[in-house]
A and B are shown apart, each in its own frame.
Chain A
Amino acid sequence: MPGTYRHRQWVNNAAFAVTGFCALLTLGVLFFILGYVTMHGISSLSWNFFTKLPKPVGEPGGGMANAIVGTFKLIGLASVVGLPIGVLGGVYLAEYGKGNTTGFLVRYSADIINGVPSIVMGIFAYTVVVLPMRHFSALAGGVALGIMLIPIAVRSTEEFLRLVPMAIREAALALGLPRWKVILRVVIPTAMKGLLTGVLLDLSRVSGETAPLLFTAFGNRFWSSGWMNPISSLPVMIFTYAVSPYEDWHRQAWAAALVLLMIVLATNVGARVLMRNQVKVVA
């Protein structure tokens, strides 16, 4: 009997049971993924994985030492390319860019860059770095990842600087400090923890990216010296190994996935624990 109190109670309970089921399902998927990758990853991990180079195609054994180092090199290069632009751009937005056209345009372009699919970012890096140099390089991969770092760095910097109370700036200004020193010596140190969180979350997001590296850093099976040569990275190795026909490569793909997941989640969780007592987290 629709409309009766009993019926409405029943609908109430049923509806909330469905939402509870949704939550269980989603969390279940998360735990399944984490568990499955851990299970398959651990059984395939070995000391060789961290210390050896990949064996020639089709030969079992070997490791991914070069890809692990390559991933860190690429993230380092990306930080050098992207973080200064992101953080200083964020400082501009928070301190000088409120309510003016430049601020709006910059904020808007950061959002546009944030929405650009990662594979398209790869094409961009390909056209501006790979085409003029005529070969794939670590530099191109770093540029692609670096640009991807910018939007979140900008917006989180802006957000955390805004949280610094006006009274603190006014106190510093009243002591006769020029504005730039107020920003550098008072505002930024106050917001440091937040800025660090934003940067770490940003890095964790970008370090798992595969698509922008496919035709920029490309990958290779040896140690890659300098920044001008193609360089191997864990995400690209996972992709290559997963779609290959070799059983042993599949095994190594799981091991690589576990290592990559650990790197990404450790950074992500670390950043958010750092932040726990402060305001809500960006992204």
Chain B
Amino acid sequence: MMNTHCEERSDKAICRRLNRSPRSFRSLAMTSGLGDRLFKNLTLLFALSILAIAAAIAWELFKNSALSRHAFGWSFLTRQIWDPVAEDFGALPFIFGTLVSSALALLMAIPLGVGVAIFLAELAPRKVSTACAFLIELLAAIPSVVYGLIGVFVLVPFMRVYVQPFLIKTLGFLPLFRGPAYGVGMLTAAVILAIMIVPFITTISREIFLSVPIALKEAAMALGATHWEVVRLAVLPYSRSGIAGSVFLALGRALGETMAVTMVIGNRPEVMASLLAPGYTMAAVLANEFTEATSDLYVHTLIEIGLVLFAITILVNAVGRLILYKMSPYAEPH
């Protein structure tokens, strides 16, 4: 019934059985034809407007970054200069900051998120598991500006007083952990981001773990595996692509995250080797400078940064969706 092809075929079958020509039924169908056509086309119109909006977003970003694209060309992506007075711009520090802070966040969030999911799916009683999953989804509901607030007034002092001095003392021989402890910086932003994306990884992973065929687990158990070995040998390999999908969606979220990062990353447009040094991300520079951009070229430059961010997140999301689509034809939007 959902499919016109099927519909016609079953109609014909009914006609044959009733021994009447299809035409004599058509008059019956015509009485409601107008309403049906109108309604279908109305919903189609709204559905197509979604397509149009997606296209319009891409087009507007492209069109309104023309000045900057012509002025700087491709080298915009690789130059490390940000001088609004001389109107000379390069996006490298922001691209670097976005990628590094998100990668660091994933480094923390993947083990944590998958760990929670294993605990909820394998160890916790079903009722506890459902309740915890509910709570962890609340973590995703907290507005990003509230994370930022907690970041500014709790996490930044904590990092400055405890974590960063400790890292400098113990791992300071690595260039990654050199420099003064500002509190703000790449690492602080990554910690906030990690907390924000854990729910995405946990929610999807838990569902996949729960859907692992029981026969697979029983087979491992029958061979004498301990519970953890069942997880390691049966559950995790089976769920690998699903976890990967959830990680890509989480990454997509981290790359575009704005407020919390803007408030704790330190906002310095430079590529620094140290993770403790202040950085800047594409989203953060947009949040901070867009309303202050005075010249057309400045605005277009910022919009081009938006375009780059858009392109990267689309790519990451597309990969994630593709992986999850393969697993179930109608993966939920997370």
Interface residues of A (CB under 8 A from B): 8-9, 11-12, 15-16, 18-23, 25-27, 29-30, 33, 36-37, 84-86, 88-89, 91-93, 95-99, 102, 105-106, 109-124, 126-128, 131, 147, 150-152, 154-156, 158-159, 162, 166, 169-170, 173, 178-181, 183-184, 204-205, 207-211, 214-215, 218, 235, 238-239, 242-243, 250, 253-254, 257, 260-261, 264-265, 268-269, 272, 280-283
What string of 1s and 0s marks CB contacts (under 8 Å) between B314-334 and chain A?
101110010000000010111
* Interface core residue of A102, A124, A150, A169 (most chain B CB under 10 Å): A124
Q: B317 — which chain A residues lie within 8 A by C-beta?
A: 111-112, 114-115
Contact yes or no, A9 B44, CB < 8 A: no
Q: Report yes or no: B115 in contact with A19, Cβ–Cβ below 8 A.
A: yes
Residues of A within 8 A of B145 (CB): 208, 210, 235, 238-239, 242, 257, 260
Which B residues lie within 8 Å of A27 (CB)? 132, 135-136
Q: Can you name 16 A-B pairs with beta carbons within 8 Å? A: A19-B118, A27-B132, A33-B150, A88-B47, A89-B50, A95-B2, A102-B44, A113-B57, A116-B256, A123-B286, A127-B61, A127-B63, A180-B40, A265-B141, A272-B134, A282-B333
- A92–B46 touching, CB < 8 Å: yes
A251 to B73, CA, bound (A): 46
Residue ranges of B at the interface with A (Cβ–Cβ < 8 Å): 1-3, 31-32, 35-36, 38-40, 42-44, 46-51, 53-57, 60-61, 63-64, 111-112, 115-116, 118-120, 122-124, 132, 134-139, 141-150, 152-154, 195, 198, 202, 207, 226-229, 231, 252, 255-259, 263, 283, 286-287, 290-291, 302-303, 306, 309-310, 313-314, 316-318, 321, 330, 332-334
Q: Cβ of B32: which chain A residues have Cβ within 8 Å of it? A: 178-181
Contact B226 A127 (CB under 8 A): no
Q: Which of A109, A119, A183 has the most CB of B within 10 A?
A: A119
B141 to A, closest residue via Cβ: A268
Shortest Cβ gap from A111 to chain B (Å): 5
Interchain CB contact under 8 A, A210 and B258: yes
Q: In the bound complex, what is the Cα–Cα distance between A224 and B95 (angstroms)? A: 37
Report the bound CA distance from A85 to B148 in whole Å.
32
> Which residue of chain B lies nearest to A241 when distances are taken between CB atoms in the complex?
B149
With contact pairs A235-B145, A254-B149 given, residues A98 and B3 touching in the complex (Cβ less than 8 Å): yes
Query: Please, which residues of chain A bring their CB within 8 A of the CB of B132?
Result: 23, 27
Instruction: Choose among B122, B143, B207, B313 the residue with the greatest number of A CB atoms under 10 Å from its CB.
Output: B143
- By a CB distance below 8 angstroms, the chain B residues around A16 are 119, 122-123, 227-228
Contact: A117 with B258, CB < 8 Å? yes
A117 adjacent to B303 (CB under 8 Å):
no
A117–B309 touching, CB < 8 Å: yes
Q: Are B333 and A211 in contact (CB under 8 A)?
A: no
Task: Tell me which of B111, B136, B147, B306 contacts A123 (CB under 8 A).
Answer: B306
Contact status B321-A111, CB under 8 Å: yes
Partner of B135, one of A30, A85, A152, A155: A30
- Chain B min CB distance to A221 (Å): 15
CA distance A9 to B54 in the complex (A): 53
**Min CB distance, A272 to chain B, in Å?**
7
User: Is the pair B35, A238 in contact by a Cβ cutoff of 8 Å?
Assistant: no
User: Are B229 and A8 in contact, CB atoms less than 8 angstroms apart?
Assistant: yes
Q: Is the CB of A261 within 8 A of B333?
A: no
Q: Which residue of B lies closest to A91 (CB)?
A: B43
- Find chain A residues with CB under 8 A from B202 CB: 26
Asked whether B263 lies within 8 Å of A215 as measured between CB atoms, the reply is: no
How far does the alpha carbon of A102 sit from the alpha carbon of B152 in the complex, in Å? 46
Contact A204 B141 (CB under 8 A): yes
Shortest Cβ distance from B203 into A: residue = A283
**Closest Cβ–Cβ distance, residue A143 to chain B (whole Å):** 10
Whether A261 lies near B142 (C-beta < 8 A) is yes
Q: Cα distance A204–B122 when bound, in Å?
A: 31
Which B residues lie within 8 Å of A281 (CB)?
137
Q: Is the CB of B146 within 8 A of A169?
A: no
Return B159 CB to nearest CB of chain A, in Å. 15
Inter-chain contact A89/B263, CB cutoff 8 Å = no
Q: Is the CB of A109 within 8 A of B141?
A: no
Tell me whether B314 and A22 are in contact (CB under 8 A).
no
Which chain B positions have C-beta within 8 A of A180?
32, 35-36, 38-40
Q: Cβ of A98 and Cβ of B2 under 8 Å apart?
A: yes
**A115, A122, A218, A238 — which one has the most chain B CB atoms within 10 A of its CB?**
A115
Q: How far is the CA of A152 from the CA of B333 in the complex (A)?
A: 7
Tell me which of B47, B153, B198 contacts A89 (CB under 8 A): B47
Contacts A120-B309, A178-B35; is A243 near B263 (CB within 8 Å)? yes
For the complex of A and B, list the 9 residue pairs with the smallest distance between their C-beta atoms, beginning with the closest: A117-B256, A208-B143, A178-B32, A22-B115, A115-B317, A180-B39, A109-B54, A92-B43, A88-B46
Q: Are B143 and A209 in contact (CB under 8 A)?
A: yes
Expressed in whole angstroms, the Cα–Cα distance for A257 and B123 within the complex equals 35
* Contact A85–B50 (Cβ < 8 Å): yes
Residues of B within 8 A of A106 (CB): 47-48, 50-51
Distance of A250 Cα from B285 Cα, bound (Å): 23
Measured CB to CB, the closest approach of chain A to B193, in angstroms, equals 13
Contacts of A37 in B (CB 8 A): 146, 149-150
State the Cβ distance, A256 to closest chain B Cβ, in Å.
9
Q: Are A123 and B290 neighbours in the complex by a CB distance under 8 Å?
A: yes
The answer to whether A26 touches B116, judged by C-beta atoms less than 8 angstroms apart, is yes
Q: Is the CB of B290 within 8 A of A253?
A: no
Contact B142 A109 (CB under 8 A): no
CA of A164 to CA of B138 in the docked complex: distance in angstroms?
Answer: 28
Query: Would A23 and B43 count as touching, CB distance under 8 A?
Result: no
Q: Is the CB of B332 within 8 A of A159?
A: yes
Query: Which residue of A is nearest B44, CB measured?
Result: A92
Beyond the given A96-B2, A124-B56, could you list 20 further A-B residue pairs with CB under 8 A, ordered by the A residue number? A12-B226, A20-B119, A29-B195, A33-B142, A33-B146, A33-B150, A37-B146, A85-B50, A88-B42, A110-B50, A111-B317, A115-B318, A119-B306, A124-B61, A178-B31, A181-B35, A235-B143, A243-B263, A253-B149, A268-B141
